[in-house]
């Protein structure tokens, strides 16, 4: 199944993947703040280009392009709505300035979606779980999260197998009216849920045999520590914020339509 291949556990090493997820999150929030305080197109283009070195360094170009495509629909929607409202309120004339503002709004949306998706593309669920744990999220929650993410491809494959098995027995999933089609999913769901519950009993035994919850204070083999790269990213974040606030306060940002 090609759909689930993207989820299969794989350990990736790259300078970006190894960064501390907490620092990466702070960086993404800084990008968010900068994108919100500017509504001119030039700084937004700069913000749009900023994650590209990170993407190339982490080697996730393909996934990045796919998430860009996913955002394209809503981006187009925002562009059209902005253009249209500008067109109707300014007396049915389309100015270059209006097009530019609409493009800037769209670009702001794309920048935000992209910066968050780069965060998820370059952060393994394990790291995310560790970060949750070290930011004092209850351990049960962090553990449930990491383990559940690991189990998703396994259960997806099992669901696929059960669907195939029921089809081989003559269950027609794509036939009949609306009601019939929904009822058709029940023979798939019941075995799935039963086998999931059985699997949970096994998981509980495995957890107990490894002394789950026996000690109050847990320690980790891999603890998140700040390395040189993390401080570098932190410096970049602070630099971006300072420059952005300085430009916002003291430098008038030119619009492209003024040059035309």
Partner 1 sequence: MNQNQETRQFFSTKILAEIIVLVSLAGALSLISHSFFRLPQGGSINLGMIPIFWLALRRGWIIGIFAGAVFGVVDMTIEPFIVNPIQFIVDYPLAFAALGVAGLFRKYAVVGVALGGFGRFVCHFVSGIVYFSDYAPEGMSPLVYSTIYNGTYIIPSIIICAMIMGILQKSKTLNIYL
Q: How far apart are the first and last CA of the chain?
A: 52
| Of 10, 92, 177, 197, the one binding partner 1 by CB under 8 A | 197
d(CA 139, CA 76): 41
User: Does residue 48 belong to the site contacting partner 1 (CB under 8 A)?
Assistant: no
177's CB contacts (< 8 A; 6+ apart) are none
Cβ nearer to partner 1, comparing 37 with 247: 37
User: Does residue 223 belong to the site contacting partner 1 (CB under 8 A)?
Assistant: no
Q: Which residues inside 62-91 make contact with partner 1, applying CB under 8 A? A: 67, 70, 73-74, 78, 81-82, 85-86, 89
Report CA dihedral (117, 115, 109, 254) to the nearest 10 degrees: -160
Nearest to 110 by CA among 75, 77, 70, 78: 75
User: Does residue 192 belong to the site contacting partner 1 (CB under 8 A)?
Assistant: yes
User: Does residue 27 belong to the site contacting partner 1 (CB under 8 A)?
Assistant: no
Q: How many residues does the chain have?
A: 260
Determine the distance from the C-alpha atom of residue 169 to the mean position of all C-alpha atoms in its chain, rounded to a whole number.
39
Which two three-digit tokens encode residue 170? Answer: 């003559």
The pattern of x and - marking residues 132 through 161 that bind partner 1 according to CB under 8 A reads x-----x-xx-xxx-xxxxxxxxxx-xxx-
Residue 42 in 3-state DSSP?
helix
Stretch that binds partner 1, among 28-36, 46-54, 229-237, 241-249 (CB under 8 A): 28-36
User: Does residue 38 belong to the site contacting partner 1 (CB under 8 A)?
Assistant: no
d(CA 117, CA 105): 19
User: Does residue 116 belong to the site contacting partner 1 (CB under 8 A)?
Assistant: yes
Host H or E run for residue 135: none
Give me the least distance between CB of 157 and partner 1, in Å please.
8
User: Does residue 113 belong to the site contacting partner 1 (CB under 8 A)?
Assistant: yes
User: Does residue 112 belong to the site contacting partner 1 (CB under 8 A)?
Assistant: yes
| Of 40, 125, 234, 243, the one binding partner 1 by CB under 8 A | 125
């Amino acid at each position: 199944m090609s759909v689930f291949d993207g989820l299969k556990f794989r350990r990736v090493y790259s300078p970006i993947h190894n960064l501390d997820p907490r620092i990466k999150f702070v960086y993404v929030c800084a990008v968010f703040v900068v994108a919100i305080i500017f509504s001119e197109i030039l700084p937004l283009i700069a913000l749009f280009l900023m994650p590209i070195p990170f993407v190339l360094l982490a080697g996730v170009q393909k996934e990045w392009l796919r998430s860009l495509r996913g955002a394209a629909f809503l981006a187009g929607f925002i562009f059209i709505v902005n253009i249209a409202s500008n067109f109707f309120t300014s007396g049915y004339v389309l100015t270059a300035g209006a097009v530019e503002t609409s493009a800037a709004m769209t670009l702001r949306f794309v920048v935000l979606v992209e910066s968050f998706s780069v965060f998820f593309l370059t952060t393994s669920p394990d790291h995310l779980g560790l970060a949750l744990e070290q930011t004092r999220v209850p351990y049960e929650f962090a553990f449930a999260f990491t383990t559940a993410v690991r189990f998703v491809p396994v259960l997806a494959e099992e669901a696929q197998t059960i669907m195939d098995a029921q089809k081989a027995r003559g269950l027609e999933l794509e036939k009949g009216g609306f009601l019939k089609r929904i009822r058709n999913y029940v023979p798939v769901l019941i075995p799935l849920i039963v086998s999931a519950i059985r699997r949970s009993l096994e998981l509980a035994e495995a957890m107990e045999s490894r002394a789950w919850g026996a000690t109050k204070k847990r320690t980790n083999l891999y603890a998140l520590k700040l390395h040189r790269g993390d401080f570098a990213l932190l410096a970049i974040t602070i630099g971006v914020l300072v420059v952005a606030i300085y430009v916002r306060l003291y430098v008038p940002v030119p619009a492209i339509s003024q040059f035309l």
